[in-house]
Amino acid sequence: MIGDRYIESRIEYKQAILRGQLALMVMVICIIYLLVDPLINKIYFFVPWYLVGIAVSLIILYLNRTHRFTAASILLLTFGNILVFFTSQSGNPDHGAFIFFVTVAAASLVLFYHKNMNLGLFFVGLSLVLAYLAFFMNMELLDTTIMTVKYRKINFFINLTIGMLSSVVVLLFLIYRNKESEKSLLEKQRELQKLADELEKSREQYALALQGTEAGLFEWDLVQSRYYLSEKLLELLGYGRDEVELRMSFFQSLIHPDDLEKTRNRMMKALATLTQFKNEARILCKDGQYRWFYFTGVIKSENGKATKTVGSIINIDKRKKAEEALQRKNLELQKANEELDRFVYSASHDMRAPLTTIAGLLEVLKLTNDPAEYPQYFEMIRQRIDDMEAFIREVTDYSRNTRLPVENIAIRLLDFVNKIKDSIAFLAEQNHIKVEIDIDKDIVIHSDPARLRVIFNNLINNAIKYYDANKSERYVKVVAKQESGDCRIEILDNGMGIHEEYVDKVFDMFFRASEQSKGSGLGLYIVKETVEKLGGEITLSSVLGQGTHVTVRLPV
């Protein structure tokens, strides 16, 4: 009845079977009457019409097999209505033909309810109109004299039986369809419930995974220019939802200027190549602090064009700061190793030189026969010992500055510097150098006394040591002023000064401006390291033949 071709729709499949059954039913009705009328009722008037009904039924079956379902339904219902109208138009319902109008109307709704309900309702209305016409108007299309009582009883029995069976077939189809739909709905409901349970389980697992990773989610719809930010993402940045503007310019304004270009380039490359997006950048949080975040996202596309970006961000600020701290430690270690190499080399040289001189002087002393020369040699040996002692003291200062923690003690700066001035008074007087102190008595800084002593001792001693013998008035000035949380300390002298090309190198380890320079070359290096250890900074300017100006800034 439905042919060999596959019918995808379950509803159309069932309707095709019902249509074929109804066509067969029309054919069976016509065959039954083709036998009953001539053999039992002795009536031959309807025989041609029965043959036409059989032919039409075959055409309907052919259309049904070739899947021209709409044409088959229209032909079936049209012919059914005409056939029923023709057999019932006498206006006398006692032969039972009117019952077929109900069957045809029910079949109209069933055959067209899936795709074209309006057409189904049209055929229902057509059946109703034809039934009224057949009942109220006798168009005398048939010779009613041939319809005897016996004929009417036989026809009523046949029409009632076939009409009942055909109506039952239509109703069973609807009942079966409803049961099938109900069963399908129950199965779908169970599947949906199972899927919902799995989704809920996945959602919980996903939520736990997100909670464990501390990740915030975002979505950027490139087509609609719409953005979605999860609550966790807002929490990571510290913003409320009403404080965030869903505009690209706003998001770009949050990225650190040093990271903006890199971030933009990587995003554009990912959108152009439809590849995964990864980036690290500093984001401005609500508290005004920039923190490091790691971005990752995937690009969704249609027809080779990016349409949406979905991704996440996580806070990596602690990790980045740990990496930066480790990098600083590595640099410090590298610097320490380089300085250690230079220190070992230069220290061995500087310690060996006075020892060699002392050994030579002792050999000369052993060979001399004049006791009057002894004091001269003893003085030379003492000077070499003083040099070694000074060098050892500098090495000790360097070691202490590197090893010991920084103390934080309140120091009245004027009293502190005066004590250092008193300790070097003999040296200043010996070289006719005037040491001036210009420090407010109320200046108090919290710092490390031992390290502060190293700074002042070295700077003032250097200023005195490298005085200009050609100048009649020689001075060293120590000036200190408090400026917005810092203490600015200046040591000025009118000594020999330093050649311009050496100014930038004076703080290097073991640097000496000339062979005539006194000392080990560690002094200013130790001063710079000590100042930085105290959280300050030091600068030096000098003009050869005019003097030197050292500025130290220390936190109060």
CB atoms within 10 A of CB 87: 22
Kindly state the average pLDDT of the residues 528-546. Answer: 89
Task: Please say if the pLDDT value at position 91 is more than 50.
Answer: no
Instruction: Please tell me the distance from the alpha carbon of residue 304 to that of residue 290, in angstroms, as a whole number.
Output: 36
Residues 283, 291: contact at Cβ < 8 Å? yes
Residues 260, 252: contact at Cβ < 8 Å? yes
Positive or negative: CA dihedral 287, 289, 290, 296: negative
In a domain, residue 333? The reply is yes
Region at 308 (left for phi over 0; alpha for psi -120 to 50; beta for the rest): beta
Task: Please say if the pLDDT value at position 157 is more than 60.
Answer: yes
Question: Percentage of the chain surpassing pLDDT 90?
Answer: 15
What digits encode the pLDDT tens for the residues 228-253? 888 888 888 999 988 888 888 888 89
Provide the β-strand partners of residue 431.
none
In a domain, residue 198? The reply is no
Same domain, 499 and 482: yes
- Give exposure, 154-181, as e/b (b: 16+ Cβ within 10 Å): bbbebbeebbeebbebbeebeeebeeee
Q: Which residues contact 159 (CB under 8 A, 6 or more apart)?
A: 95, 96, 97, 99, 100
* Domain boundary, last residue among 344, 375, 403: 403
Least confident range from 49-63, 87-101, 347-361, 509-523: namely 509-523
Half-sphere exposure of residue 221: CA atoms within 13 angstroms, side-chain side = 8
Q: Amino acid letter at 195?
A: L
Which token pair is 141? 């299309």
Q: What is the 3-state secondary structure (H, E, C) of 431-494?
A: CCEEEEEEECCCCEEEECHHHHHHHHHHHHHHHHHCCCCCCCCEEEEEEEEEECCEEEEEEEEC
Instruction: Please report the pLDDT score of residue 479 as a whole number.
Output: 94
Instruction: Please tell me the distance from the alpha carbon of residue 37 to that of residue 45, in angstroms, as a whole number.
Output: 9
Instruction: Please tell me the distance from the alpha carbon of residue 452 to that of residue 443, in angstroms, as a whole number.
Output: 15
pTM for the complete prediction? 0.39
Same domain, 336 and 415: no
CB atoms within 10 A of CB 115: 15
Q: Amino acid letter at 384?
A: R
Same domain, 448 and 528: yes
Instruction: Please report the pLDDT score of residue 178 as a whole number.
Output: 65
* Domain boundary, last residue among 288, 315, 342: 315
Residues 538, 552: contact at Cβ < 8 Å? yes
Instruction: Please tell me the distance from the alpha carbon of residue 148 to that of residue 99, in angstroms, as a whole number.
Output: 20
In a domain, residue 270? The reply is yes
Write the DSSP assignment of 114-130 as a string of letters: TT-HHHHHHHHHHHHHH
Instruction: Please report the pLDDT score of residue 481 as a whole number.
Output: 92
Same domain, 379 and 503: no
Same domain, 451 and 501: yes
Dump strand ranges (E) for 188-321.
215-221, 226-229, 277-284, 290-302, 305-315
Same domain, 162 and 20: yes
Instruction: Please tell me the distance from the alpha carbon of residue 46 to that of residue 31, in angstroms, as a whole number.
Output: 11
Same domain, 270 and 326: no
Instruction: Please report the pLDDT score of residue 262 as a whole number.
Output: 92
In a domain, residue 209? The reply is no
In a domain, residue 273? The reply is yes
Provide the β-strand partners of residue 430.
none
* CATH number assigned to the domain comprising residue 279: 3.30.450.20
Same domain, 31 and 155: yes
Same domain, 18 and 115: yes
Instruction: Please report the pLDDT score of residue 432 as a whole number.
Output: 85
Nearest to 64 by CA among 122, 118, 8, 12: 12
Dump strand ranges (E) for 162-266.
215-221, 226-229
Instruction: Please tell me the distance from the alpha carbon of residue 551 to that of residue 549, in angstroms, as a whole number.
Output: 7
What digits encode the pLDDT tens for the residues 455-495? 888 888 888 888 888 888 999 999 999 888 899 999 999 99
What digits encode the pLDDT tens for the residues 317-363? 888 888 888 888 888 788 767 766 655 555 555 556 567 777 777 87
Instruction: Please tell me the distance from the alpha carbon of residue 244 to that of residue 423, in angstroms, as a whole number.
Output: 65
Region at 59 (left for phi over 0; alpha for psi -120 to 50; beta for the rest): alpha
Distance in Å from the first CA to the final CA of the chain: 104
* Domain boundary, last residue among 284, 300, 315: 315
Torsion of CA 163, 164, 165, 166, to 10 degrees: 50
Instruction: Please report the pLDDT score of residue 144 as a whole number.
Output: 53
Residues 401, 522: contact at Cβ < 8 Å? no
In a domain, residue 399? The reply is yes
Same domain, 180 and 32: yes
* CATH number assigned to the domain comprising residue 503: 3.30.565.10
What digits encode the pLDDT tens for the residues 176-224? 766 776 777 788 888 888 888 888 887 777 666 666 666 888 888 888 8
Q: Amino acid letter at 475?
A: Y
Same domain, 426 and 524: yes
Which token pair is 244? 């965030």
More confident residue, 304 or 509: 304
In a domain, residue 544? The reply is yes
What digits encode the pLDDT tens for the residues 392-445? 666 666 666 566 677 888 999 999 999 888 887 877 777 788 989 999 988 999
Same domain, 360 and 285: no
Q: What is the tally of structural domains in the chain?
A: 4
Provide the β-strand partners of residue 309.
220, 299
In a domain, residue 194? The reply is no
Range(s) of the domain holding residue 231: 214-315
Task: Give CA 266 to chain center in angstroms.
Answer: 13
